[in-house]
Every structure is written in structure tokens, then in C-alpha cells.
Amino acid sequence: MQVFGLLGNPVGHSLSPPMHEAAYDHLGLEARYVTFEPAPDDLERAIDGAAALGVSGCNVTIPFKRDVLAFVEPDPLAQRIGAVNTVDFGESPPTGHNTDAVGAVRALGRHDVTLERASAVVVGAGGAGRAIAFGLADAGATVTICNRTASKAETLAEAVPGATGGGLGRLPVALSSADLLVNATSVGMEADQSPVPPEALHADLTVMDAVYTPLETRLLRDAAKRGATTVDGAWMLLYQGVAALERWTGESAPVEAMNEALRQGLSSPVAGSGE
């Protein structure tokens, strides 16, 4: 029996267990996906304990994505992003990876979005924004990062190839000629708000929101009214999980089975945030 899991605090309403276990059932794998909730100062012991107990792999979520870098061997992309959300215990020391970047790219690919030579705007310069900005740039897009604190966007843009950064005031101009907009902030999760002025949206945009609770955010409603193509946040959540599972097992993930389980979980009244 292989054991996989999620390291975070809190993880009580995580949607990852049903999504991953649907894949194991579909593939006929003897495996289970469990949640681990160590205290914030016990992360190193949690990693060591998981390795000692023969855990095959773990996803990592808030508040550990940056801190776990000190206790694994990060791959080049995770090192550049500065965060790990997937740990593979198949090697010693365990290796760290970031599947948020590929999750965003694969989610957009699912909706036939071409990133090569595309003009992309990312709102937010936090952990999700960093991963998405690197993923889009590596896929060939030219990235503009807009953040409430302009200096954070400017600092991130210095690290992302070909990117520029600034404050939210740049959004109307940046979006006027953009092909893609991604909201990588939590705006829209707790309140019916959008980080983007609706008048800045247009029909030639694809708009993806990393927020997935609710699935239909104010931003996506505004974008649909403007005729834009919309991509809800569950697609990114799905494909980061797909990438993790494929890394751990070497199997092609049953994407549709995982998507069905994820969306059933999201329809539950107790569905929560976090991976």
C-alpha cells in the first residue's frame, strides 16, 4: 500500500484526498491519500517522519510552501519560484517540485489557449502569482505583473524572463492589448469582489481565476458579460494534482475521473480552500 498526502495547516476541508483517490481507484493502485497537519514549527520533523515511514509523496500547502525548501532538494523550477508544493520521497534527500506552474499552463491548454507569443497579465505577486508568472513566461508568453504593492510586482518581474511589473493602476492599459488575464490573488474568495475594473475587460481576452471557491467569481462573471473566454480556478487545482500524481506514480493520470471527483467535492456545502 502506497501512502501519499498533503502537508499543511489547516487542511481539514482539503479537496485533494477525493481527487487523488479517484485516480487510484481508476488506475487500480493500492494507495491512499491522507492529510497531515503539523504545527508550524514542526515541518522538518514532519518531512523526516514521512520519509522514515515510507510515505511516497506529499503535496504541500499553506503555510509551508516556502519553508519546505530548506528540507528537500528543489528542482530548478521550484528553486526559481521559491516554493514547493510537491515532495517526492522516492529519492534521498526527497526532491521538491512546483506543479502550480504546470497546473496553470495545462489548465489553459485544456481551453485551447495558445501561450507562445501571447500577452499575459497576472494580478498578484504572492506564491500563486510567482508560480503562474514563471509558468506562463516559460511557455512563451510575455508577462505583465500587477500587484497592489507595486514594488513586489517589480521585484518579481526582475526574476521572470521578459516580464514587467507595476501597480494595479496599470491594469487598464496592460489589458487593452492583452490576450490573457490571470487573477492569482484571493480577491473574490471571501467577498463578491474583483481585483479588475470590469470596463478593462474585453471580448478578446481569456480570463482565468485561481480562486475556486466560489467557482463563478465576480471577475469571471464580469469577463463573461464582456464576451471573454473564462476558465474557473478548479482547472488549475485539477492539473497541479494531475502533475503531482504523474510524478509520483509514473502513470498517465485519469484526468476526467479526477475532475469529476473534484467538482463533486466543490459542490459540497463543506468544500474548503487549500489544495
Provide CB contacts within 8 A for 30, sequence distance 6+.
1, 2, 24
Provide CB contacts within 8 A for 251, sequence distance 6+.
27, 29, 245
Q: Cβ atoms within 10 A of the Cβ of 127, count?
A: 19
Amino acid at the residue 257: A
**Residue 187 near residue 193, CB atoms below 8 Å:** yes
Q: Cβ atoms within 10 A of the Cβ of 226, count?
A: 17
CA angle, 55 as apex, 98 and 81 as ends, to 5°?
10
Plot region of 159 (φ>0 → left; ψ -120 to 50 → alpha; else → beta): alpha
The one catalytic residue among 21, 22, 64, 65: 65
Tell me, yes or no, if 225 is annotated catalytic. no
Q: Give rounded-to-5 percent helix, strand, coil for the chain.
A: 45, 20, 40
**Whole-number Cα distances in Å, 48 to 53, 208, 271:** 9, 37, 30
- Active-site residue set: 65
